Amino acid sequence: MASPRPRSGILEIQPYVGGKASAEGADSTIKLSANESAIGPSPQAIKAIQQALGDSHRYPDGGSDRLKAAISKRFSLDIDRLICGSGSDELIHLLTLAYAGPGDEVLYSAHGFLMYRLSALGTGAQPIAAPERNLRTDVDALLDAVTSRTRLVYIANPNNPTGSYITADELSRLHRGLPDDVILAIDAAYAEYVHTPDYTNGLELIDQADNVVMLRTFSKLFALGGLRLGWLYGPPNIIEVLNRVRGPFNVNALAQAAGIAALEDLEHQERSVAHNDHWLPRMTQAIAGLGLTVHPSVANFLLVGFPETGEKTAAKAGDFLEKDGIVARPMAAYGLPNCLRLSIGKEDENKAVIKSLERFLES
Ligand SMILES: Cc1ncc(COP(=O)(O)O)c(C=O)c1O
């Protein structure tokens, strides 16, 4: 008997497995598996959620207009070039859905964020991964991989899970090398953590071209991952298309209220960045000091390399950490089975990581 079959590509999707939320067998969990902010959401955002709860029977503002106004004010952006989504994941899906389909190609860097590949498969397009150089996006390799079928190029800058970034010059060179009808989607989920002067979130490219968009999220610095909130800034033609394909109420009311309040709490944002500025170099140094490979990161997480064989592999380290209540992210799904990814945590969490890794390496 015939049974319903999904479109081609769908069965190639390995459902996304997020960072584990709890350590099995441990009394408590230190969750460092999803690049979440160590210090949690703004108290103002929590208050705004509580205030909005009573109106939960009302549909949300369908266009997220107040939220877009707050984003526009906070980042000095043109409100007509903004669209909000239920996490930047939704916006990645919508963008791929609107611009790519069967017969098209969606290009990204080999260890680029997993959602680019998943969104391509979901729309029936062919995902194409360009090789990297030393776990860094390689602009030449991306440009070499462009064909007449390429519709979208996704680049996470900085990239998750490698923590590396490409410079403003490299990004601009990538854009210059793309045909005008190919969209360059710059996913700047971790932009707020980067301070190096040669970095850009890509805004200046968007102002000059009709084929560049920037994706941002409230899940990292703003610590609202549980509410699902992201936004995209791009040329009006692309915003108009995305407004056609999004759900009429795609961002829930609590997320909108929390986002507006979080944007206004500049002090909390500064505290969150300062926490990362303090701990990122310290954790890098401490883990490298144990003899492990720490890939240089400009974001709020570290990719740590372990020996390929023997008793000190990444898998064994992950199990050991978990027994101590620490949940890291295994990296096999990203093609990096010898690595674990660890978010920067609170002070006591970071110290617990170092202690546990020390005991693991001595055991
Ligand atoms: C590069 C990158 N883009 C997008 C996302 C997804 O963000 P959101 O929670 O807004 O869907 C993540 C989350 O880990 C990420 O690392």
Residues 184 and 300 in one domain: no
Residues 57 and 34 in one domain: no
Which one-letter amino acid corresponds to residue 269? Q
Q: What is the layout of strands, in order, in the sheet containing 150-156?
A: 82-85, 230-233, 212-217, 183-187, 150-156, 105-109, 126-130
Within a domain: residue 139? yes
CATH number of the domain at 339, please: 3.90.1150.10
* pLDDT score at 16: 76
From the list 267, 115, 294, 297, the residue with the least C-alpha distance to 193 is: 297
Within a domain: residue 6? no
Within a domain: residue 12? no
Within a domain: residue 170? yes
Report the 10 Å Cβ neighbour count for 123.
22
- Residue 229 CA: nearest ligand 1 atom is 10
Q: Residue 2, exposed/middle/buried by CB under 10 A (0-12, 13-18, 19+)? A: exposed
| CA–CA dist 169, 252 (Å, integer) | 38
Does pLDDT of 354 surpass 90?
Answer: yes
- Residue 89 CA: nearest ligand 1 atom is 11
Residues 217 and 230 in one domain: yes
* pLDDT score at 173: 98
| CA–CA dist 82, 2 (Å, integer) | 45
Give per-residue pLDDT as tens, 96-110: 999 999 999 999 999
* pLDDT score at 24: 79
Residues 127 and 247 in one domain: yes
Q: How far is the CA of 41 from the centre of ligand 1 (A)?
A: 16
Residue-by-residue DSSP string for 243-289: HHHS-TT-S-HHHHHHHHHHHH-HHHHHHHHHHHHHHHHHHHHHHHH
Q: Omega of the bond prior to 127 within 30 degrees of 0, cis?
A: no
Residues 169 and 278 in one domain: no
| 36 C-beta closer than 6 A to ligand 1 | no
* pLDDT score at 7: 84
Q: Are 235 and 21 in contact (CB under 8 A)?
A: no
207: left (phi over 0), alpha (psi -120 to 50) or beta: alpha
* pLDDT score at 105: 98
Residues 184 and 93 in one domain: yes
Predicted TM-score (pTM) above 0.75: yes
* pLDDT score at 23: 81
Please choose from 137, 214, 217, 334 the residue to mutate so as to test ligand 1's pocket, defined by most ligand atoms within 8 A of CB. 217
Task: Return the residue whose CA atom lies nearest to atom 7 of ligand 1.
Answer: 88
> End of a domain among 264, 286, 319?
264
| 132 C-beta closer than 6 A to ligand 1 | no
Give per-residue pLDDT as tens, 169-216: 999 999 999 999 999 999 999 999 999 999 999 999 998 899 999 999
Give per-residue pLDDT as tens, 271-324: 999 999 999 999 999 999 999 999 999 999 999 999 999 999 999 999 999 999
Residues 310 and 251 in one domain: no
Q: Which residues of 285-315 are buried (b: 16+ CB within 10 A; e: fewer)?
A: ebbeeeebebbbbbbbbbbbbbeeeeebbbe
Please choose from 33, 89, 159, 329 the residue to mutate so as to test ligand 1's pocket, defined by most ligand atoms within 8 A of CB. 89
Residues 31 and 82 in one domain: no
- Residue 218 CA: nearest ligand 1 atom is 10
Give per-residue pLDDT as tens, 23-80: 877 788 999 999 999 999 999 999 999 999 999 999 999 999 999 999 999 999 999 9
Within a domain: residue 153? yes
Give per-residue pLDDT as tens, 146-163: 999 999 999 999 999 999
| CA–CA dist 185, 112 (Å, integer) | 12
Q: How far is the CA of 358 from the centre of ligand 1 (A)?
A: 31
Within a domain: residue 2? no
Within a domain: residue 89? yes
CATH number of the domain at 116, please: 3.40.640.10
| 89 C-beta closer than 6 A to ligand 1 | yes
pLDDT, mean of residues 333-347? 96
Which residue reads 């929590």 in tokens? 46
Q: How far is the CA of 192 from the centre of ligand 1 (A)?
A: 13
- Residue 34 CA: nearest ligand 1 atom is 14
pLDDT, mean of residues 250-271? 98
Q: Are 325 and 33 in contact (CB under 8 A)?
A: no
* pLDDT score at 9: 80
> End of a domain among 233, 264, 295?
264
Residues 172 and 55 in one domain: yes
What is the token pair recorded at 177? 């090398």
Q: How many domains are there within the chain?
A: 2
pLDDT, mean of residues 131-136? 96
Q: Which domain holds residue 202?
A: 43-264
> End of a domain among 249, 264, 279?
264
Within a domain: residue 311? yes
